[in-house]
Amino acid sequence: MTAADTSALLDELGDYLREDAPALSLPPEAFVSPELWELERTRVFGRSWVLVAHADELAEPGSYVALSVAGEPVVVTRDRDGELHALSPICRHRMMPVVEEGSGRADSFTCPYHLWRYGLDGRLIGATFMKGNPDFDPKTCRLPRFAVAQWQGFVHVNLDAGAEPLAPHLARVGEDLANYRLDEMVQVGGWVEEWNCNWKVAVENAHENYHVLGFHPETLQPSTPGGAETSVRADSPWANIMRVRYTEPLEAAILPLTEEEKAHLYAFFVFPSGSLAASGEMVVWLSLIPQSIDRTQVRGGVLMPAALIEGADRDTIRKESEGYAAMINAEDRHGLEAVQRSVGSRFAGRGHLSPKEPGVLLFYQNLARALLREDGAWPGQL
């Protein structure tokens, strides 16, 4: 694409912010333009809070989760004092990653190349054969830091170390979720998958229940049919909520859920990639994190009230919850990878959206705002 094409594409995205915004899907170029992907890396993922883990995955001192966010390697650690850190794992000597992607436990990170050693807070604690270099100061040498925040058990990182705090943007989401008592929930199962699609193909899908008709006819259609009553609300430039009515209300044995809460699935989206779906006494979180223009990592987990599973066999619950999630994820993945194969076609084009997918437009608005702001500030905060 030329610079003029990219600017025309941004103008089209900007139209989603108009009062009379068209109910149209994204232009197909939005999924394939390398120039837009570069802008997303800097303007969206370079300065937004990205959900990366549930705190249960980082509960023990020394635990870490290493991943990449839009091409940027990140490691999140819990140090011996219980403090969380988000660090760049790139060695300060000659750029070897000091830890590979994945999760585990470590007392420190030793670079596999020349064995420089770093603490869980990123400080250099050892570098062999460096005494002869007078310009090298081990005291100021450390892994660069990103911002990290834990909100109601959900660990987010922001590649902008000076990012504004996350919590104020989620204040209303927290109120909405009060009866679900997220702080008393434990993660009973979790997964990391790779899907071959652009991250927006996956995120727009998560913002609507309409696709249950086609992708989940046997699994989700009986409880939350594609035509179910659906409403949405934007809470801040970062947070959206979608409410979908169940065919039959759910029961609640432990949580003080209202009749409204038992009768609806509540899905909360934290732009750009995080979501939580509260479904009776179960919460499922999902984060759709781009790895490249056509590859998305899908991280997620299932949470339940600790009191609900007391005395139950955790291994059985884990297998059941992960098995169910894997089945739903496979249905989405299969469909979304097919969409990805089409977005580059000469005949791909913008389509009209259904009134059953209002959340998709909220996501497009978030995207347009994030891409069009050039400085760090949001137009019209909260």
Binding site for ligand FES (CB under 6 A): 91, 93-94, 96, 111, 113-114, 116
Residue 233, both tokens: 């609300």
**What does 37 bind: Fe ion, ligand FES, none (CB cut-off 5 to 8 Å by kind)?**
none
Residue 333, both tokens: 């993945």
Query: Which amino acid, residue 16?
Result: Y
Please identify, using beta-carbon distances, which residue of 93 and 245 lies nearer to ligand FES.
Answer: 93
Please identify, using beta-carbon distances, which residue of 142 and 318 lies nearer to ligand FES.
Answer: 142
Residue 22 CB, shortest distance to ligand FES, in Å, is 51
Please identify, using beta-carbon distances, which residue of 91 and 147 lies nearer to ligand FES.
Answer: 91
How far apart, in Å, are the Cα atoms of 198 and each of 2, 24, 161, 257?
21, 18, 26, 36
Please identify, using beta-carbon distances, which residue of 187 and 275 lies nearer to Fe ion.
Answer: 275
Q: Tell me the β-bridge partners of 190.
A: 301
Output the residue with the shortest Cβ distance to Fe ion: 332
Place of tokens 């990103």: 146
* Euclidean distance between CA atoms 368 and 355, whole angstroms: 20
Place of tokens 């989405």: 332
* Among candidate residues 272, 279, 304, 132, the one with its CA nearest the CA of residue 206: 272
**What does 233 bind: ligand FES, Fe ion, none (CB cut-off 5 to 8 Å by kind)?**
none
**Residue 310 burial by Cβ neighbours in a 10 Å radius (0-12, 13-18, 19+):** exposed
Q: Counting contacts by CB under 5 A, is residue 357 touching Fe ion?
A: no
**Residue 192 burial by Cβ neighbours in a 10 Å radius (0-12, 13-18, 19+):** middle
Each residue 318-337 as x (binds Fe ion by CB under 5 A) or -, in order, gives: --------------x-----
**What does 161 bind: ligand FES, Fe ion, none (CB cut-off 5 to 8 Å by kind)?**
none
Please identify, using beta-carbon distances, which residue of 117 and 233 lies nearer to ligand FES.
Answer: 117
Please identify, using beta-carbon distances, which residue of 86 and 212 lies nearer to Fe ion.
Answer: 212
Residue 124 CB, shortest distance to ligand FES, in Å, is 10
**What does 332 bind: Fe ion, ligand FES, none (CB cut-off 5 to 8 Å by kind)?**
Fe ion
* Euclidean distance between CA atoms 52 and 120, whole angstroms: 18
* Euclidean distance between CA atoms 147 and 164, whole angstroms: 9
Please identify, using beta-carbon distances, which residue of 40 and 332 lies nearer to Fe ion.
Answer: 332
Residue 128 CB, shortest distance to ligand FES, in Å, is 9
CB 369 within 8 A of CB 17: yes
Residue 292 CB, shortest distance to ligand FES, in Å, is 24
* Euclidean distance between CA atoms 216 and 37, whole angstroms: 30
Residue 103 CB, shortest distance to ligand FES, in Å, is 21
Give contact residues for Fe ion (rule: CB under 5 A). 332
